[in-house]
Structure 1
């Protein structure tokens, strides 16, 4: 098991918002925040889980999220400096992380009452949801952030994963980014989310079991026909078992359970490949490519076998053709892919990406 690399730690400046939420500022920022529009001691709405007996999985219900912010104009973005009623009332900042005002999961979620008239298992939707804002610049993106900001981002992921896993009920933490409206983005300011789960979701649980049984993810970095870009410490590659056309993964060559365990050199290589992936997609498709980026790290109890890695799942199969999750995928769980992984890797490897 890799030990946490102490040189890779970052310490945020922490603020308490009037409604009780926490705000963590990483890197530099200017200004003292104030939120006159927030009411103190707001009454929280809680989510709950119901068991799906046929799919054998939990479904989370968060009715209060129907009123969340939806596609505001650029001049009214709540993540921009100086925005009226904004979440981040600073003049400038590097990276900000704060509790989501419309959280799907709550650390103190109570045990729900049974559903009247139904013999259906229910449980608390325990967890935590945070927003991570990559920059004060509304027009920035993973493709355009400077290297040092991407390095800081990797470190912030590690710090938030470590911090949230210190909560006894928390089982696993997954940062992610939805890029583009096709991926469900409702705020265009560059940002992602960090979900901590008080239970092991089924996909992460299946991955953890695979790693427990001995699957070695790092062996993919040795398969040259699938590697799109290589660095001394990590590879950007198309896995030979893609579910999405042109899927790309960032895989460290040495086992690390979390981004907090990366060395300084490994952090730099992962940060370089983050921009390489986003720029490769945009160049290859000739447009801003919508994608879902998933940052996976070890759940509790799997720190010795579950490797940190990042998956990009693009929602295009050609410049003007979406990859829709439709009947076969939704109804049967059987994915249909139009591009062979070997062809996808060759096509993406041939892309000339501007530095």
Structure 2
């Protein structure tokens, strides 16, 4: 049992991977369900290669070319197992389920790589692709989306994210835990069942590394916390604030890269999801659903989006940086009806972003969509 709301139980898949159920009622018995598929023992061929010009690690995972790609709805591997239709989740129903990815970019069983210093290939610096990749299924309903969930179910997902972050942070091979959701074929989704993923990286990703460096410089220059100052400045300006609750503030950043992009911060800074208290988690469930529905309301239908949790990396003992500010980055690749924001020459070639919509206009449109959605649903924060 995690909290008064969620019960956790663990089982094993036929190839040894872990499956974890987060249930809203006790004693579901789902973890006892047997995976009857004839699967070979799980293994991964991932490796990490170092880019010296950017001082970044690149993951090579060629085995992922064979992963399941847009199967028919009646063959989705994320549905519950029912009758002769056997899937990645052996139970015949579930609330929220998490399992180790069958085609992971990173895995604790990554294959060994040759020793460094090959005289015939001096440009090659590599290490094993060690880490962990998990799939998070938000509901057993194949036709739903996260925006369709009840606040109760959204809270269960939040508990799953926090639980997995804490457990992965404790693994010595993992330096940073990244929960995220891709939605829409435009993003690259290969399974339509409502789900997200969690990556446990063996390094701090470039975005997090740059953010921590910016925070260090800000602290040395001002003596203040960068994350706190950014949130305070946006709340004072108010022009780009989309939602302001008791515990959370969502705003379009002043230098937004995407046409429609929101950052969601707790008003009391914490470094990661496990550090959120009960009141913060409860309000997060409602605010997050509001934001997702507002994004859909922008274009009167489901939009492609990426929902990315920015959390603190951990040190060798598994402890996060208390100065880091947990926040969500939510953005869609759409810039207008039937028009996508492409990352073309400037963005992809130089990482220099050019936005097509003023952040203040985007914030106003999001506020309008959010309020119209609340009126339709009779909701209030």
Q: TM-score, normalised by structure 2?
A: 0.87
- Give, in whole Å, the separation in 1 of the partners of 2:274 and 2:4: 6
Shift of 1:18: 2.2
1:348 aligns with 366
1:3 aligns with none
Secondary structure of residue in 2 paired with 1:157: helix
Q: Give per-residue Cα distances to partners, 1:160-196, cap 9 Å, x unaligned.
A: 0000011112111000000000011100000000000
- Give, in whole Å, the separation in 1 of the partners of 2:250 and 2:4: 22
- Give, in whole Å, the separation in 2 of the partners of 1:186 and 1:7: 33
Residues 1:218 and 2:231 are matched in the alignment: yes
Shift of 1:317: 0.4
* Mean Cα deviation higher: 101-110 or 316-325: 101-110
2:71 aligns with 72
Q: Give per-residue Cα distances to partners, 1:285-305, cap 9 Å, x unaligned.
A: 122110111011111145211
Residues 1:280 and 2:276 are matched in the alignment: no
- Give, in whole Å, the separation in 2 of the partners of 1:11 and 1:126: 29
- Give, in whole Å, the separation in 1 of the partners of 2:91 and 2:157: 19
Shift of 1:277: 1.3
2:133 aligns with 129
Q: Give per-residue Cα distances to partners, 1:81-128, cap 9 Å, x unaligned.
A: 235230113222110000000011012435411578321211121210
Residues 1:267 and 2:285 are matched in the alignment: no
Alpha-carbon spacing, 1:8–1:130, altered in 2? closer, same or farther (3 Å): farther
Return the match for 2:159 from 141, 155, 159. 155
Map 1:259-338; keep pairs closer than 5 Å. 259-301=273-315, 302-338=320-356
Secondary structure of residue in 1 paired with 2:166: helix
Report how many residues are paired: 349
* Mean Cα deviation higher: 116-125 or 201-210: 116-125
- Give, in whole Å, the separation in 1 of the partners of 2:216 and 2:14: 44
2:33 aligns with 33
* Mean Cα deviation higher: 345-354 or 276-285: 345-354
2:106 aligns with 105
Secondary structure of residue in 1 paired with 2:147: coil
Shift of 1:158: 0.8
Shift of 1:149: 0.6
Shift of 1:58: 1.4
- Give, in whole Å, the separation in 2 of the partners of 1:305 and 1:10: 29
Q: Answer yes or no: is the 8 Å Cα contact 1:250–1:273 preserved in 2.
A: no
- Give, in whole Å, the separation in 1 of the partners of 2:119 and 2:69: 32
Relative contact order (C-alpha < 8 Å, sep 6+): which is higher? Answer: 1
Flag structure 2 segments of 5+ consecutive residues without an equivalent: 218-224
The CA RMSD over aligned residues, in Å, is 2.0
Return the match for 2:194 from 190, 195, 205. 190
Q: Answer yes or no: is the 8 Å Cα contact 1:8–1:264 preserved in 2.
A: no
Q: Answer yes or no: is the 8 Å Cα contact 2:14–2:37 preserved in 1.
A: no
Q: Answer yes or no: is the 8 Å Cα contact 1:8–1:263 preserved in 2.
A: no
Q: Give per-residue Cα distances to partners, 1:202-221, cap 9 Å, x unaligned.
A: 11111122233431243234
Map 1:3-152; keep pairs closer than 5 Å. 12-28=8-24, 29=28, 31=30, 32-39=32-39, 42=41, 44-82=43-81, 84-113=85-114, 117-119=120-122, 120-152=124-156
* Mean Cα deviation higher: 206-215 or 142-151: 206-215
